Structures are given as C-alpha cells and as structure tokens.
Structure 1
C-alpha cells in the first residue's frame, strides 16, 4: 500500500513538472518583466536591446547576455551604496569614491567580485548568482556617477 502511495505521488510530481514547462504567453511575459531590470538574454546572432550580438558577452550556453550596470546596481548594490550601510561609499559622493577610484578600476572590480576583507563588502555584494561581468558593469555605473 505504501509503495502504491509513493508511486502515485511520484507520478503526480512528474506530471506537474511536465506541465510546468509549458508556459502561456502571459506567463512568459510576466517572467520577462521580472528579469528586465537586471538584463536580457537573447540567442546568438540576435540583436539584444539594440546591441549587436557580437558586442554582448557570450555565455556557455551560446546565448548573448546584455549586462545592465544600472540594473545590477539597483538590484544588488543599492541597499548599501545608497545608504552608506557598513561603510559603503554612497554613489554620487565624489569625496568618498576618490581614493577608491585612484586605486584603479581593476582594484574596484576585484573588490566587487571577491569582496574586501575587513569591511562589509561581500563578494558580489552577497549575490553569488551574479556574473563577474554584471558586477563589473555595476562598478562602472557607480564610478561614472561618483566622479
């Protein structure tokens, strides 16, 4: 009896999983709207957001990802870099950013990607799901708006 119940549960789970793959146009549009602030993904050879495919970053899947520095900042960096939490330099505060910028962009990229020991700056701002390119684009956005 227990085996039949387990098999029935497994079967229902597989059916639900198979149905989850089939999305309506409305569901797909909702997903696209949720990820739009972070960036967009298109297939190799397509044009993404007006950027020719050759200019995008090529992912392992063959997709071209357009990286949006401001979008990454808004979703991953803003909480600390807009408030100064944990000593983070506030975007737009040229005096706070000046000594950091003087160290060079590679040092800023390294701090963003790997974190900064002894500070509140965690690797990728605590967002391990971010690509290095997304973090670098967010750093570029913050630097451009803090000089």
Structure 2
C-alpha cells in the first residue's frame, strides 16, 4: 500500500514539473529553433563572400585556402602546383576546358569543387590558372 502511495506522489510531482518545464515564451521558442548554419547551393553566390572581402578572390588565395593540401604534395595523384610533368599530359589530353570541368564536377579522389565549398566555378578556374601558370 505504501508503494502505491509513493508511486502516485512521484508521478504527480513529475507531471507538474514536466508541465512547468515546457512553458516557454514565443521568443524563447524562436531562439531554440533558429537555424544553426546556412546552406550553400552550388552555382549561387555565397552571402558575404567576395562582396564582404572587398572584391573577387584571386587564384592564389583560393589555392592557398582550398587546394594546397592536395596539390602541393600530389596527394592521391593530384597534379602538383606548377609542375609541368603533372599538368601537361592532362592539358594535352583534355584541354583547359576539360581540366576545369573535372575540377568543377570532381574526378578520381577529388570531390566536386575540390575542398572549396563556397567557391564559384570562376573561382575554381582562377585557382587552376594559378596552378598551371608558366607551364
């Protein structure tokens, strides 16, 4: 009999506590459900990217921020930065447009747009032009 009484008291207290814990103002609810991040759609200009920076990103800037990790060392067969022996066969085989398309769409271990999630296609082209400069 005592067990039943204690369980009833505990259930009642838990119900009252839970009901009060759920009471939130509209502002508190809006704050809890606000987005935590942003979605970037390929091909669309990212909010505040180049405009906030005061102009377009250079190929060198893009290379140093997104491409250097793989293309400086030739990771998984990536053509090395300004190494003609790595780039020339690709350029001869596909041409510059084909190399651009591979970078934009991805090829082998390279994901589409490389590791630059906020780059435009023109940014990728600028980075490639920087990587093959002088070849």
**What is the TM-score when the length of structure 1 is the normalising length?**
0.57
Q: Which runs of 5+ in 1 are unaligned?
A: 18-38, 43-47, 49-64
- State the distance in 2 between where 1:4 and 1:122 align: 46
Contact kept, 8 Å, 1:101 with 1:143, in 2: the verdict is no
Correspondence for 1:144? 133
Structure with more strand by fraction: 1
RMSD of equivalent CA atoms: 2.5
Shift of 1:40: 3.7
Secondary structure in 1 matching 2:24: helix
- Within the candidate set 38, 41, 45, 2:51 is matched to 41
- Greater radius of gyration (CA): 2
Question: What is the match of residue 96 of structure 1?
Answer: 86
8 Å Cα contact 1:115/1:123 also seen in 2: yes
Match for 1:78 among 44, 58, 68?
Answer: 68
Q: Which residue of 1 aligns with 2:109?
A: 120
Shift of 1:134: 0.7
Alignment size in residue pairs: 99
Q: Which has the higher contact order (CA 8 A, sep 6+)?
A: 2
Cα distance in 2 for residues equivalent to 1:6 and 1:105 = 58
Counterpart Cα distance in 1 of 2:85 and 2:99: 16
Question: TM-score by structure 2 length?
Answer: 0.62
User: How many Å separate the matches in 1 of 2:27 and 2:103?
Assistant: 48
1: CA distance, partners of 2:78 / 2:67 = 10
Give me the whole-angstrom Cα distance separating, in 1, the residues matched to 2:103 and 2:51. Answer: 23
On the 8 A contact 1:40/1:67 being kept in 2, the answer is: yes
Separation in structure 2 between the aligned mates of residue 93 and residue 101 of structure 1, nearest angstrom: 12
Instruction: Name which of 110, 115, 118 aligns with 2:101.
Output: 110
Distance (Å, rounded) in 1 between the aligned partners of 2:85 and 2:124 = 22
Displaced runs of 4 or more, over 4 A: none
